[in-house]
Amino acid sequence: MTKKWVYLFSEVKQAENSVQGDWDKVRGLLGGKGANLADMTRIGVPVPPGFTITTEACNAYLAEGEKFPDGMWEQVMESLRATEAQTGKKFGDPHNPLLVSCRSGAKFSMPGMMDTVLNIGLNDETAKGMVALTGNERFVFDSYRRLIQMFGSVVLNIADEAFEDVLEAYKHEKGAKDDTDLSAEHLKELTEKFKKVVKKEKGFDFPQDPVEQMRLATEAVFKSWNGRRAIDYRRAANIADDLGTAVNIVTMVFGNMGSDSGTGVAFTRNPATGERLLYGDYLLNAQGEDVVAGIRNTKKIQDLGQDLPQAYKEFVDIVNKLEKHYTDMQDVEFTIERGKLWMLQTRNGKRTAKAAIKVAVDMANEGLITKKEAIKRVTPEQVDALLHPQFDSAAKQKAIKEGKLLCTGVNAGPGAAVGQVFFDADTAEHKGKVEKLDVIMVRPFTKPDDVHGMLASKGILTSEGGATSHAAVVARQFGVPCIVGASAAHIDLEKRSMEANSITIKEGEWISIDGTSGEAFVGKLPMTAPSIEEQTDLLVLLKWADEICATPGMRKLPAGWPSTGLQVWANADYPADARRARSFGAVGIGLCRTEHMFFETTRLPIVQRMILAKTSEERVKALDELLPYQRADFDGLFEAMDGYPVIIRLIDPPLHEFLPSEHQLLEEVITMRVKGQTDGLKAKEELLNSVESMHESNPMMGLRGVRLSIVMPEIVEMQVRAIFEAAADCTLRGINAKPEVMIPLTGHVNELKVIQPRLIAIAKEVMAEKKINFGYKFGTMIEIPRACLTAGEIASVAEFFSFGTNDLTQMTFGYSRDDAERSFLVKYIEEGILPRNPFQTIDRDGVGRSMDIAVKDGRSQRNNLEVGICGEHGGDPSSIEFCHIIGNNYVSCSPFRVPVARLAAAQAALKYSEN
């Protein structure tokens, strides 16, 4: 049986039958535009007759070295004859010519990314016939000159300027302000001038054969699938490269036949706000590209009710019908020819994040869609975009045109920030906290002891580092807009300045950074800063999402494993973070990093004294000073999370991170010796010796985590005492404290067997002292591959697992996170060596498989084992879906990612409960 490459709009049923009635596959075959034109034809909407050449034909054409597949063109000509029969016109007939458009149409809407040619079939002879038929010479030659220009640009690859320059010069010569001021005679002359452009640029005449015009236009549309702008759009929209585009050959209807004709584009709801109000523009006596190109001032769609009231009434009825039919906001194109309305396209309309959420919620409340469908309609990225400050898009474009784009880097922390540049953490903190300035902290890279400056800043920019570098991780944790790896920025810390794009920015000068796009600008850009409390539609949607996740039976897992969807917890180090997490809907703290508390300026000297202590007694004395600080920190967390679990990770990083850098100390000692300064030299030399003695070749795999707890148990003993004293005090105040103590970096069960009993003994001792009992858990962070492979043994001691996927990814791949992103990881992703950045999305085949083994092995030993994730992946939708699949109880992420994670968790639950 001959392969069917072409379907008339009236053959939609055949297309459905060819793919077993799957409408999604129909869209894949006919493209979104072709499928909807056929569907509109079926439901009685006025659509000009035509046919669709399938996406399969496009892929075959490209695969066969830009050659039409066997039988395709014959089917095109057969469908053309059927279209002639439907219209009563004949293609190429000089007396009653049929004119057509050739339009692209991929499965997923890619507005303006591929090619379209209008008025195909016009030539010198058919133009005469059209004049005789219509009695409107101006309309005919307006259409003819448009064909030559579009065909020349799209099909023959002649630069637009070659035609535009001629047009502008001719209008100037004739004293015409707009195209509409040109007479019929003018347009005839312009048509001849455009023919000369083609001859000059290509060396041959504009094709007079209508069939040749259509053939070349079809090839141009097929080729446009691999045009740069289409490829760039697909990359940005995550659209697959192998889908191809369909070609739609549609009978031309004309909006440029006089004052009773027009053309327009409209949305059934406001695509910016989601408001249920018809939104769009139109022009009388114009063709479609006039509206979208902005070459004439358009009129609001509601004004059509005065200009052409009968056509407008029919239009409103049709678009309401289309919205109900497709149960989504529609983006439509239409033409009115001598009072007769024709619909040229309908598709689900592109919309802002705000509009997407409002439309989904409103349509559910209107009964058009279900709550489940509303949840599936909104993307996690839209929720994220809605909750971060954003620059005004027009202001950004204006800044780019004015040369104010300073540099670009990795978009590490979404949102927008405007502030004055400062180059070190102490200054940033002082300027931000004391002087109350808006600060952008700029550094080559950041370290843990820069946290205080980062927290006082409105935004962060670094010239080094990747998406999971320290700056990026902290920025996302605290919702600070951040750009990292802006390699074009040359930062001179001595001169207190940075240079990029031949622009020098001195300390104290203003810049604006967009952490969503990774762009930094000179000066101040206007922005908006929404809050979740103001997003009433989002709150409704997330409430529905939580209801889905809380429904039993969402997961078909073994008995004892969770049957509901994922809970969403948050990473929070301070009470303010915990309160923010609760306001965003978190139902637990999955990670409190106690070491961040040590970096505060009042505590760091005590911490350093503890590290440098010569005896255990000296160390304990320093720790006794720290204990009240830690207890107060934990007290605030338990109070903020009243009734919800709080997982507190015991100290994890190596101790040298709390001391000055070896390089810095060495420079200071040498400088003092050269200058003969003896005051303080001995103490500085002793500190240098201590730091040198702690040097490790690979600190990440050195003395840290549980290893540090075993070698120097006094630290974690103090921390556990502080945790349980705070929990006991809260319980006595009527607060339901639920502490869970996490021991990091376990690689062997014996490590837990050594340290965990000592810590449990302290917990019991504190409760006895306070004469109070409350529930608690001791567990471990799974971040070493060996821990995944021996999870059953570890679960015999640990009561919960929390995957630290940042370190687990590093150790599984053997990558140093920052080094990989700086040197080779981007290339790996660009060249397809890796499908995506494994530090942003869980590598399911490697890291994910280890996690799956750990969950199954752990629960084989402890059936009710609580399992979560607290790495950066906890806020990534794909990673959240994977955690749902393997049976995690919860994911934990930055407070600012909690709304995103709530939606993603519900979408995962729906996806796998319905399959």
Query: Which residues are tagged catalytic?
Result: 470, 870
Q: Which of 800, 736, 721 is nearest to 773 (CA)?
A: 736
Instruction: Supply angle C-alpha 578, 479, 549, rounded to 5.
Output: 60
Residues in the chain: 915
Name residues whose C-beta falls within 8 Å of residue 313's C-beta, 6 or more positions apart in sequence.
305
How many degrees, rounded to 5, is the angle at CA 914 between CA 908 and CA 915? 95
Question: 334: which strand partners?
Answer: 264, 343
Q: How far apart are alpha carbons 776 and 844 in whole angstroms?
A: 32
The C-alpha atoms of residue 567 and residue 634 are separated, in whole angstroms, by 22
Q: Are 858 and 797 in contact (CB under 8 A)?
A: no
- Distance, in Å, from the CA atom of 826 to the CA atom of 844, rounded to the nearest integer, reads 19
* Spatial separation of the C-alpha atoms in residues 649 and 591, rounded to whole Å: 6
Instruction: Report the alpha-carbon distance of residue 470 to residue 822 in Å, rounded.
Output: 13
Which one-letter DSSP state was computed for residue 349?
Answer: P
CA-wise closest residue to 336 among 265, 268, 251, 253: 253
In angstroms, the CA 564 to CA 553 distance is: 6
The DSSP call for residue 211 is: H
* C-beta atoms surrounding 620 within 10 Å: 15
Strand, coil or helix: 381: helix
DSSP 8-state assignment for residue 561: S
Q: First and final CA of the chain: distance in angstroms?
A: 34
603 alpha-carbon distance from chain centroid: 39
Handedness of CA 712, 714, 719, 720 (dihedral sign): positive
Residue 912 burial (CB count, 10 A): 15
Cβ partners under 8 Å of residue 764, min gap 6? none
The two tokens of residue 546 are 């939580």
